[in-house]
Amino acid sequence: MSIGHQHPICCQLRHLLSDYLDGELEAALCAEIEAHLAGCPDCQVLVDTVRKTIILYRSQALAELPTDVKDRLYQVLNLPPAKLKP
Ligand SMILES: [Zn+2]
């Protein structure tokens, strides 16, 4: 993911991403996110990375990561650690 990508929708999407990947967003919002993703490679990469990260986390593989890396991930994902349940 690239730093310096300042599109406001990208920022919004980052905040909604965990709910989106959990399937907790309204259909209308999902459609908006998918429409944005279709035209934004940066966000495609982000969604892909987050999805894989959540899968890894749930398979406990993230337990192997150093704490500072996890903390940075949570910040990027805007997720409190408690939100990610195995
Ligand atoms: Zn974007």
Domain locations in the chain as residue ranges: 8-76
Query: Could you tell me the distance, in angstroms and rounded to a whole number, from the CA of residue 21 to the centre of ligand 1?
Result: 16
- Selected from 1.25.40, 1.10.287, 1.10.10, 1.20.1300, the CATH number assigned to the domain covering 8-76 reads 1.10.10
DSSP class of residue 25 equals S
User: Residues with beta carbon < 5 A to ion ligand 1?
Assistant: 10, 40, 43
Output the CA 17–ligand 1 centroid distance in Å. 11
* Prediction pTM value: 0.58
Q: How far, in Å, from the CA of 37 to the mean position of ligand 1? A: 6
**pLDDT > 90 in the chain, percent:** 24
List, for residues 25-51, the tens digit of each pLDDT value. 999 999 999 999 999 999 999 999 988
> Do residues 9 and 36 touch, judged by C-beta distance below 8 A?
yes
d(CA 85, CA 9): 27
Distance from C-alpha of 2 to C-alpha of 6, rounded to nearest angstrom: 10
Taking the centre of ligand 1 as the mean of its atom positions, its distance from the CA of residue 32, in whole angstroms, is: 11
Q: Residue 13 burial by CB count (10 A; 0-12/13-18/19+): exposed, middle or buried?
A: buried
Q: Whole-angstrom Cα distance, residue 74 to residue 79?
A: 5
